[in-house]
Structure 1
Amino acid sequence: ADFTNELTALTSAISQYNTSFTSLIAGISVGSEDLYRNSPTGILANGYNAGAQPTDIVSFIGQIRAAIAQTPASGLPIGHVDTWTAWVNGSNDAVIAACDWIGMDAYPYFQNTIANSINVANSTFFDAYDATVNVAQGKHVWVTETGWPVSGPQENQAVASIPNAEIYWQDVACTLLGKINTWWFTLQDAAPTTPNPSFGIVGANINSAPLYNLTCNNGNIPSSSAAASSSSSVVSAVSSATAPASSAGLNTESVTIATPHPDTSPASVTLSQTSASTLQSASAAITASISASPALSSSRTTLATVSSPSAGGSSASPSASPFASPSASPSASPSASSGSCATSLNGEFQYPHLIIPVKSETPNTAYGTQYNGVINPTVSSIYNFDVPADYTGKTCSLVFLFPEQTALKTSAYTFNAQGGMSVNEMSSPATQQTTYATIPAVDQATMGSIGSLKAGGSYVVASQECAAGRTVSYEFVSTGGLDLKYFQNADPSAPIGVYITAC
């Protein structure tokens, strides 16, 4: 019903205002972060699945195309906005194929399982952008959300402050603007109360000077700029791939440059310090946003043009280190034993940040990262975990949770009720390009195993000192004819899949 109402509102506005309205539209976004909210990460953050399936979004895009086909909006590009982690997941390729452009949301500040200080925020952001471009099927990638908070809690190494927000503007915004369609989060988010964290460029008074200088140090001179008005409704674009739900506000003001569709991305940049400027006078374009998930409604966001910068030199991101080898390789047991952490997710835990299936029948095919774990005689799945730096000195247990099918609310599985699995620790992390033929070398074969997998079981595969601050990778291999496919999901009431618990 929500989608139908919003589609009616869009077509009515086109009919009433004609080209005076459509000439202001940069593009139509069919939904925002629906794929993220449909992912294990999003379900964990929200406590339930508030997203939409890729097939649903593709259907909604088709309905929008049909609805505007014979109107002044017929030539407008249609896309979808989501987190970069959703775009690089191969399960969502059909949405990319259906879009004219894709919108990427990325916040290094919230990527708290890796090094994420302001000193590496530049490279972290552009690593995410380039990863998105690499899977975009030639479609233009717009930056639909990024920014750095001026105040708020510290996220791992990321400190929210006005000086750091200005550095991030110089390093990221001043590389993007004038080259890539960019929506900066956010012009103002301090009304009626200041959120925590707060990303606003201006404070509670919309007419006040910016909190930090916006002139780009790389010599670009602003051609125009604008201030944006508030949205009339809640839009998911205010929450990031890893931001807690409490960071989402009701205000979708953003600072933006809308340029001709770019053909290249600024893949490398130089870290810079701050300089001086002001946000200048207004004017603008409009993006129409049609929500794909039931919790969202339509919105209008006025965009503001700012300076046009150029890219600088290169900056490399830190490489991940493999997990330390365990001192022992205990077999799995139905519950935690002495020296192991709990199999429940009531305490500290980590979910996999990549799930990479590899298939012996197609050894040279890379399937990218998935939401589903697949373990059968011809397919094994490799799970990467980014172990937080503050796990130093703790014990980590690799666990496999397999509830009864009837206990699941936001997941499901197919299981042939036979066999088990063995687990190998890899010498280096898998990547989205990993194939069966290029699986990383095994550092420790059969570090643990589950002899006979049973529905309703919770298993400790292995326990060891946490490899704090490193990326670890494990391959789960079918034994005894096991054939299992499941949706990895950290629903607190019935989690399923592979996790690391810490104690």
Structure 2
Amino acid sequence: MRASQILALAAALPTTLAAYKGFNYGATGRDQAAFEGEFNAAKNLAGSSYTSARLYTMIQDGTTNTPISAIPAAISTKTSLLLGLWASAGDAQFANEIAALKAAVAQYGSAFTDLIAGISVGSEDIYRITPIGVSNNAGLGVGPETIINYIGQVRAVVGDKPIGHVDTYNVWTNSSQNALIAAVDWIGVDAYPYYETTKDNTIENANATFWDDYDVTVAASQGKPVWITETGWPVSGAASGKAVASVDNAKTYYDDVACHAFANNINTWWYILQDTGASPSFGLVGAGTPPPTTPLYSLAC
């Protein structure tokens, strides 16, 4: 690793003694039992224990503003939470996210709030309205002014928790985000060399590509901690440019990126524990309900 990358890692050290280490989790079709099964599998993975969960919404699937059942599952399994509020569906929908957050605080109290690692207001919202996001049909997004407004609403509910925003490295390095960076407590970066087809994105270059993405984010961060909120390499699926999806390449990427992040105490949420049936599939484990605890490749660092 280059000297600049090592300095970037040092700059991103969290204020807590031990970094958060977890997975991203979707909300669709999951009830409390499903979340508990996933969280327990993550904690008991052979070779490495993951005890944190990143969520994208506060709202239980199929409801208007009922708190997501990942919260009681996290309380039951002692899993910390990087909460997410979906920010690209308009003000009325964001009001439902706020309502769910308030209801969760009222219902679960400190048993819930003590587990909060941080709160992300939005995820890749700005990326989706950039030219590359539009060309990739990434969906609806919003600008930094909207995110800053929403951050203020979240601070009014849980102002004692670290609040941030998650986006892609090329969003953070644009000076138009300076006001947003000033408004957050931390920055979340999503980076996938597998998808960076404008570069030589072979697995041999993936390590350097990821840490370059991370390094430039740190340089733009105004001294705010930079958390790795999404990255991974697929175990199966179609090629993406020069990137080949395979178990062996996913293992190489894990060794180069995850192991370095863990060793340098960077808060990291990997993508993903299980995504059976997806293509490409990034799942660390194969099919099963609850998920199996034997990964598809060794997690030893």
TM-score by length of 2: 0.67
**CA deviation vs aligned residue, 1:171-229 (integer Å, no higher than 9, x gap):** 11000015100000000010xxx11111000011112511000000xxxxxxxxxxxxx
Q: Secondary structure at the match of 1:131?
A: helix
**TM superposition outliers: structure 1 runs of 4+ over 4 Å:** none
Partner of 2:268: 182
Partner of 2:43: none
Matching residue within 146, 154, 157 for 1:56: 146
Select the structure of larger CA radius of gyration. 1
Structure 1 residue 19 and structure 2 residue 110: aligned? Answer: yes
Matching residue within 91, 96, 99 for 2:181: 96
Identity between Structure 1 and Structure 2 (%): 56
Partner of 1:66: 156
Q: Choose 86-95 or 96-105, whichever is displaced more.
A: 86-95
Structure 1 residue 112 and structure 2 residue 197: aligned? Answer: yes
**CA deviation vs aligned residue, 1:360-403 (integer Å, no higher than 9, x gap):** xxxxxxxxxxxxxxxxxxxxxxxxxxxxxxxxxxxxxxxxxxxx
Structure 1 residue 161 and structure 2 residue 246: aligned? Answer: yes
For 2:287 and 2:179, how far apart are their aligned partners in 1?
Answer: 42
1:75 to partner: Cα distance: 1.7
1:151 to partner: Cα distance: 0.6
Matching residue within 263, 285, 291 for 1:202: 285
Partner of 2:258: 173
For 1:32 and 1:139, how far apart are their aligned partners in 2?
Answer: 18
Partner of 2:214: 129
Aligned length: 207
The structure, 1 or 2, with the larger RCO (C-alpha pairs under 8 Å, 6+ apart) is 2
CA contact (8 A) 1:150 1:199 kept: yes
Q: Secondary structure at the match of 1:82?
A: strand
What is the correspondence of 1:326-341 to structure 2 with a 5 Å cutoff? Answer: none
**CA deviation vs aligned residue, 1:436-460 (integer Å, no higher than 9, x gap):** xxxxxxxxxxxxxxxxxxxxxxxxx
Give the aligned residue type for 2:126.
L
**CA deviation vs aligned residue, 1:48-100 (integer Å, no higher than 9, x gap):** x61011101001001111223xxxxx321000011111111111221111100
Give the aligned residue type for 1:3.
F
Partner of 1:147: 232
1:29 to partner: Cα distance: 0.3
For 2:124 and 2:241, how far apart are their aligned partners in 1?
Answer: 24
For 2:197 and 2:246, how far apart are their aligned partners in 1?
Answer: 16
For 1:22 and 1:44, how far apart are their aligned partners in 2?
Answer: 39
For 2:163 and 2:99, how far apart are their aligned partners in 1?
Answer: 17
Q: Choose 35-44 or 102-111, whichever is displaced more.
A: 35-44
For 1:103 and 1:146, how far apart are their aligned partners in 2?
Answer: 11
CA contact (8 A) 1:35 1:92 kept: no
CA contact (8 A) 1:103 1:141 kept: yes
Unaligned 5+ segments in structure 1 are: 69-73, 217-503
What is the correspondence of 1:413-428 to structure 2 with a 5 Å cutoff? Answer: none
For 1:38 and 1:67, how far apart are their aligned partners in 2?
Answer: 28
Matching residue within 129, 135, 141 for 1:38: 129
The Cα RMSD (Å) is 1.1
CA contact (8 A) 1:189 1:198 kept: yes
CA contact (8 A) 1:152 1:197 kept: yes
CA contact (8 A) 1:117 1:159 kept: yes
What is the correspondence of 1:467-478 to structure 2 with a 5 Å cutoff? Answer: none
Structure 1 residue 3 and structure 2 residue 66: aligned? Answer: no
- Change beyond 3 A, Cα 1:208–1:67: closer
For 1:208 and 1:31, how far apart are their aligned partners in 2?
Answer: 30
What is the correspondence of 1:348-367 to structure 2 with a 5 Å cutoff? Answer: none
What is the correspondence of 1:277-296 to structure 2 with a 5 Å cutoff? Answer: none
Give the aligned residue type for 1:182.
T
For 2:292 and 2:109, how far apart are their aligned partners in 1?
Answer: 32
For 1:143 and 1:126, how far apart are their aligned partners in 2?
Answer: 11
TM-score by length of 1: 0.40
1:22 to partner: Cα distance: 0.4
Q: Secondary structure at the match of 2:126?
A: helix
What is the correspondence of 1:296-375 to structure 2 with a 5 Å cutoff? Answer: none
Q: Secondary structure at the match of 1:46?
A: coil
For 2:225 and 2:179, how far apart are their aligned partners in 1?
Answer: 16
Partner of 2:73: none
What is the correspondence of 1:198-277 to structure 2 with a 5 Å cutoff? Answer: 198-205=281-288, 206-216=291-301
Give the aligned residue type for 1:44.
S
Q: Choose 160-169 or 178-187, whichever is displaced more.
A: 178-187
For 2:135 and 2:249, how far apart are their aligned partners in 1?
Answer: 29
CA contact (8 A) 1:186 1:200 kept: yes
1:14 to partner: Cα distance: 0.7
